[in-house]
Structure 1
Amino acid sequence: MSASSAAPARLGHALLAGRGRMALILVVSLLATCLTMWWSYQVKLKCGGAPFLDEGRSSHWPVGDPDAVIPCYSDLMYLWIGRDINNHVFPFINGGITPDGKLFGGVVEYPVLSGMLMWLGAIGAHTDTEFFQHSVLLLVPFGLAITVMLALMTRWWVLLWAATPPLVLYAFHNWELPVVATAVGAVAVMAWGSTISPRTGDRRLSVRTAAILAAILLGIGFCLKLYPGFFVLPLAAYVLTYGTSPGPDGAAPLRRTLDWVGAVWVAAAATLTVIAIQAPFMILGFEGWQAALSFQGKRKADVDTNSIWYWGLRHFTGGQNDTYNTLVGLLSPMLIVAAFALAVYLGWRVYQRDGVYPWIEVSASMLAGFMLFHKVHSPQYTLWILPFFVLLQVRWPVIAGYLIADFILDTTIFRLFGIYTSGSPMKWWVITGVNVGVWVHAVLLAYLIFAFVRAPLREPLASFGRRARPSEPDLVTTS
């Protein structure tokens, strides 16, 4: 065999090896995802089952097995009663909120697309357990899709998502998987668009086109659970500054004209997506649509919101009095906005140094700030931040500390709710576990506001967009 024919042969073998390695990663990660989600289903199912009480509520609810390591509690079952889900009322169209803050007429305290998913899950269900099972069927595809996207972008690092406790604890706790899928999907679209087509040698999608598609996904995510909508700002900043590159031999970055038109298109795509989704509900039932917003605006930072405000500030205000509620109402949004501004500023400093705006890193930083300062910090929000541990090179002690604290929090907070409800004596290890989980998370989130922006992307995501060399065929052929 001549040297000229040996080179293509070696490249062909390398291509096959790259595809085989990717296939193995996908199989292993998908099997791990199926196992963790099956485990989650079995854990949560123990809160349901016959015999059933009025309105289809299981007599096992909400305790299940009180000695189980992982509490069976799931918001999916909880939501069955009190929002007309059990009565199969179409959400938001006919309803509102009472003066004392109670929703009625099919209104749920979630954005409209999450409300639609709940309505779909209730079709054909007559008990909380059937509603839970139907909801699981709706959620599973989103969990699998997230695994596939993360595997293609990070290879074996996907196991941080697929084979760690959060997926067991929260896959079927609430409606998190669809919104996480939109956030990860936006990153995946940008990554795939930046890869080099072997046929043309150019990007598969222009930066504007990829960013507009990603913005549409983020707009959909905003209509599921808000937080992906925050990422439109750093994405627009990335498009605005795209085209600059580091100067030769450490010189200052080469700068081109800022793409204001592209940035506006990104913002417009997200905005129009949100309007298109929200408009039918606003037109057909404005009072019901507005009631969901009013509920969140009136929501207090109580024990069930599980935030630093309840576990910290109330000790300095003498409890949950008017002073406490006023301070939370002021400080929470102000600090969230400040955290967003800080993340964008830190990203701009990286752009001035490297010539590329780190939109993924800034998005992660914004999320950390939102989770830290928002008056609601439900344990299942760990599923929001977990993909960024996969995508970014975060220090191992931080990831381990976060996940350990999360497990401690989940296995104590729902026992705490039961103790408060029943009036039973408080157990020292329960209140200690809750405080450990809350404050370890708080400290790590404060650190991550800064650390995320500086964290490099994992491979091969970091190398997408580079022209492939013969030794790196998988960067372009398996994306």
Structure 2
Amino acid sequence: MSGSEENDHRRIVHPTVDDPITAALSLGVGGPVGEHAGRHSWWTPVQVLLALTAICFALGFVQKTPCYRATWSSSETNYSDMCYSDLPYLYVDRGFAELDWPYSSAIAVRDRYQVMEYPVGISYFAYASAYLTHWLSGSPNLDARGGMSQPQLAADPKVHRETLLFTAVEGVGFALCALLAVWFLSGVHLRRPWDAAYFAVSPALLLEGLINWDLLAVVCVAGALWAHARGRPGLTGVMIGLGTAMKLYPLFLLGGLVVVYGRERRWRDLAGATATGLATWVVVNTPAFVSGRAQWNVFWSYNTHREADLGSVWLMLQQMTQHTFGVHTINVVSWLFFGAWCAAVAVLGFSARLTPRLAQLGFLLVAGFLLVNKVYSPQYTLWLLPLAVLARPRWRDQLIWQGGEILYFASVWWYLGGHLEPGGGGDPGFYWLAIIVRMATELYLVGIVVRDVLLPEYDVVREVSWRDHFSWWRQGGPGQLALTPSADGAG
């Protein structure tokens, strides 16, 4: 082992000496790593993390097995076994069984199929998955399908097999996204690669990774954090632009960059990140916009006119008060609250003693958006996951937060399946409780992150910098007994 390798090994923060829960669990296998521990001849932290991610995601496939065996045709199985997924239902319903372009304006297509209500990046991914599905299925005759109705098409045995294959193809794509996200996260802080383990073995990733297309945006957010850590604002903007083309929420990372770059007077970097982000979003959206402007606009109009839906505080209040809030009221109040929340995060960021980390600011912004959004689907937990694990890399806090998410995950399916209805009838009180617990655990993590921003000595990522400075001082190095001003760098 070379001297540089030894130094790199010592620089890595090992989880068994950093996290109290991991340290306690390690007692059963020999205890925390010692000062003279050597480096494995092949396994590196990143390779271990990728293996853990693969295992976790494979278990996610297993968790969906009851629905796969039932071909997602049984609502009872979907809800009682908590294995529901949106993926198989759109193969026929959105025209992918006939390989129709999602943004086609052809009357024959639009009279037959509903437009994809998702951002363009998701539509592209689904279309590419459908194309691969058709190729793997032997390129079926699409002309014959044009003469079949949607119910006939859905009932066709060959199409039925294709639907399952389409779901599997998409799932493999999501697994690759999860692996890439972990690779990105492990490189944000080179001395803390093990922080990505909170993502790699997350219960949220296992249970919710295959519900919808959210992992496409998640990997872009992880990529933005990675690029920012390496001082590459242009690439950071590109990843934010790509993520915004998948889901809207990665756009909020620009708010975090305003604080970070603003405090450091890096206006050129802020302009570069914003410009490349906007340019990337425009480039990705252009094919859809040009081929079908009306179809491209469906995503925006659908979300504007959407009513209060599952998981939201709005739905809970409506059910509690038996009063239906108008869509306009929900939109205005939600955006006003979120605007005030963003202002509060900005004040927090600019008034903190040290520049907050991008993951901390991003987590706070996305959390504020979700808390008042008119829909809070179970898989939206994934939006917070890469930000949360880097904002607060501690098992105790992660398990408290994800414990609330798991409770809601189970409750929403049982609620939809009618399993939470009181025996004598009445209101779904347990479902309301699950929403409240979910919000409470999320606010708990918000509070912890805010504390870390205000009191950076509690920030475990910055705490490493303090320890290293102290170590250097004891060894005769530069005696800089102070917290590192910014902990977003990869070093």
Q: TM-score range by the shorter chain?
A: 0.7 to 0.9
Deviations 1:172-215 (A, max 9, x none): 1111212111111111112234xxxxxxxxxxxxxxxx112101
**Matching residue of 1:115:** 123
Deviations 1:136-156 (A, max 9, x none): 121111111112222333333
* TM-superposed deviation, 1:359: 3.1
**Matching residue of 2:339:** 337
Q: Where do residues 19-418 of structure 1 align in structure 2 (5 Å cutoff)?
A: 20=39, 23-49=43-69, 58=71, 60-64=73-77, 68=81, 71-94=82-105, 105=113, 107-123=115-131, 124-125=133-134, 126=159, 127-152=162-187, 153=189, 154-193=192-231, 210-242=232-264, 258-302=265-309, 305-316=310-321, 318-320=322-324, 323-350=325-352, 353-354=353-354, 356=355, 358-393=357-392, 397-418=396-417
1:192–1:23 Cα change, 3 Å = farther
* TM-superposed deviation, 1:396: 5.4
AA aligned to 2:258 is A
* TM-superposed deviation, 1:108: 1.0
AA aligned to 1:319 is H
Secondary structure of the residue aligned to 1:79 is: helix
TM-score w.r.t. the length of structure 2 is: 0.74
- How many angstroms apart in 2 are the aligned matches of 1:221 and 1:259? 23
Check the 8 A contact 1:92/1:107 in 2, yes or no: yes
Once superposed, what is the RMSD of the aligned Cα atoms?
3.7
Bigger Cα displacement from structure 2, 274-283 vs 211-220: 274-283
AA aligned to 2:222 is V
* TM-superposed deviation, 1:429: 13
* TM-superposed deviation, 1:72: 1.4
* TM-superposed deviation, 1:445: 3.3
**Matching residue of 1:207:** none
AA aligned to 1:62 is S
AA aligned to 1:29 is L
- How many angstroms apart in 1 are the aligned matches of 2:112 and 2:446? 38
* TM-superposed deviation, 1:117: 0.9
Deviations 1:342-380 (A, max 9, x none): 111211111xx33x3543321111011011011111111
1:15–1:442 Cα change, 3 Å = closer
- How many angstroms apart in 1 are the aligned matches of 2:48 and 2:426? 37
1:66–1:215 Cα change, 3 Å = closer
- How many angstroms apart in 1 are the aligned matches of 2:298 and 2:105? 11
Check the 8 A contact 1:161/1:167 in 2, yes or no: yes
Deviations 1:76-121 (A, max 9, x none): 123334222333211123279xxxxx99746211110011111122
* TM-superposed deviation, 1:301: 0.7
Secondary structure of the residue aligned to 1:419 is: coil
1:60–1:285 Cα change, 3 Å = closer
Q: Where do residues 425-436 of structure 1 align in structure 2 (5 Å cutoff)?
A: 431-436=428-433
1:66–1:291 Cα change, 3 Å = closer
- How many angstroms apart in 2 are the aligned matches of 1:306 and 1:16? 44
AA aligned to 1:133 is A
1:94–1:155 Cα change, 3 Å = same
> Identity percentage over the alignment?
22
Bigger Cα displacement from structure 2, 10-19 vs 31-40: 10-19
- How many angstroms apart in 2 are the aligned matches of 1:394 and 1:427? 45
- How many angstroms apart in 1 are the aligned matches of 2:366 and 2:176? 24
**Matching residue of 1:443:** 440
Aligned residues: 413
Unaligned runs of 5+ in 1: 1-7, 51-57, 97-101, 194-209, 243-257
- How many angstroms apart in 1 are the aligned matches of 2:357 and 2:399? 24
Check the 8 A contact 1:166/1:382 in 2, yes or no: yes
Deviations 1:26-75 (A, max 9, x none): 2332222111111111222321347xxxxxxx36433337754xx11111
Check the 8 A contact 1:88/1:122 in 2, yes or no: yes
- How many angstroms apart in 2 are the aligned matches of 1:29 and 1:78? 33
Check the 8 A contact 1:182/1:218 in 2, yes or no: yes
1:128–1:401 Cα change, 3 Å = same
Bigger Cα displacement from structure 2, 13-22 vs 30-39: 13-22
Unaligned runs of 5+ in 2: 13-38, 135-158, 478-486
**Matching residue of 1:203:** none
- How many angstroms apart in 1 are the aligned matches of 2:239 and 2:351? 27
TM-score w.r.t. the length of structure 1 is: 0.76
**Matching residue of 1:206:** none
